[in-house]
Amino acid sequence: MKEHERPDFDSRAAQWDNLPRRVALGNAIVEAIKQETDPQVWMKMLDYGCGTGLVTFGLQPLVKEVIAVDSSRGMLDQLELKAREAGITNLATVFIDLDNEWHLPDGIDLLVSSMTMHHVPEVAPLLAHFRECMNTGGLLCIADLETEDGSFHDDAAACIPHRGFAVTEMEQFFRVAGFKNVRTVRVMSVQKERDGKLHEYPVNLTVGSV
């Protein structure tokens, strides 16, 4: 996808945390990851598509080191501001330029990603790269929408590569990339009003190990 076709996260970054629904989803994803993986103080964690850190900061106190990765400089600016204000010292950010070649840092014990995978055009090669960057015994946690009808995003014109993922589809991505012990739990359902009715958008967490 070219730059002009991608959703503009930079311009939304400063207001991103103002929506209680987003904060609630981030908190629910943090709780599900804690329950499924039991993060440890020796772990090096990477949050891929970290945004403003709604999930990152829920896990950061539990691990040794955090690398927060995003393709939006605006989102990373917000995350860095929050880290500075909170005096957090075990966190580094990495900006990735999707129009050029990039690699993630290696030696990762816990790799998490929340509500980002549906924005990634090619999921299979990304999960293969995740695995290359992870230590033996490392855990991958991906939280994302269950298959939806395309109405989740408020901006109908936004170019979103995936309308969520069926559980079997996401688990297959994990297995093909070489992850073991793959399992999925339901995190919660996001409710949004569509055509005067409440529409439910379930969010799942899939976990696998290296």
Ligand X SMILES: C[S@@+](CC[C@H](N)C(=O)[O-])C[C@H]1O[C@@H](n2cnc3c(N)ncnc32)[C@H](O)[C@@H]1O
Contact indicator for 144, 92 with CB cutoff of 8 Å:
no
List CB contacts of 20: < 8 A, sequence separation 6 or more: none
Regarding 9 and contact with ligand X (CB under 6 A), the answer is: yes
Among 71, 184, 204, 206, binds ligand X (CB under 6 A): 71
Minimum distance between the CB of residue 48 and ligand X, rounded to whole angstroms? 6
Residues 54, 59, 61, 64, CA torsion sign:
negative
| Shortest spacing between CB 96 and ligand X, in angstroms | 6
The rounded distance, in Å, linking the Cα atoms of 182 and 46 is 19
Q: Is 18 exposed, middle or buried (0-12, 13-18, 19+ CB in 10 A)?
A: exposed
Minimum separation from the CB atom of position 205 to ligand X (A): 12
Out of 28, 33, 55, 134, point to the residue binding ligand X (CB under 6 A).
55
26 binds ligand X (CB under 6 A): yes
Considering beta carbons, is residue 60 or 116 the nearer one to ligand X?
A: 116
Q: Which is nearer to ligand X, 98 or 181 (CB)?
A: 98
Q: Quote the distance between the C-alpha of residue 11 and its chain's center.
A: 19
Q: At closest approach, how far in Å is the CB of 53 from ligand X? A: 8
Question: Residue 182, SS3?
Answer: strand
* Ramachandran category for residue 133: left, alpha or beta (phi over 0 → left; psi -120 to 50 → alpha): alpha
Residue numbers 96-125 binding ligand X by CB under 6 A: 96, 98, 114-116, 119-120
Contact flag: residue 30 with ligand X (CB under 6 A): no
* Residue whose C-beta lies closest to ligand X: 51
Q: Using CB under 6 A, count the residues that bind ligand X.
A: 19
CA dist 17 and 53 (Å) reads 9
Binding site for ligand X (CB under 6 A): 9, 22, 26, 49-51, 54-55, 70-72, 75, 96, 98, 114-116, 119-120
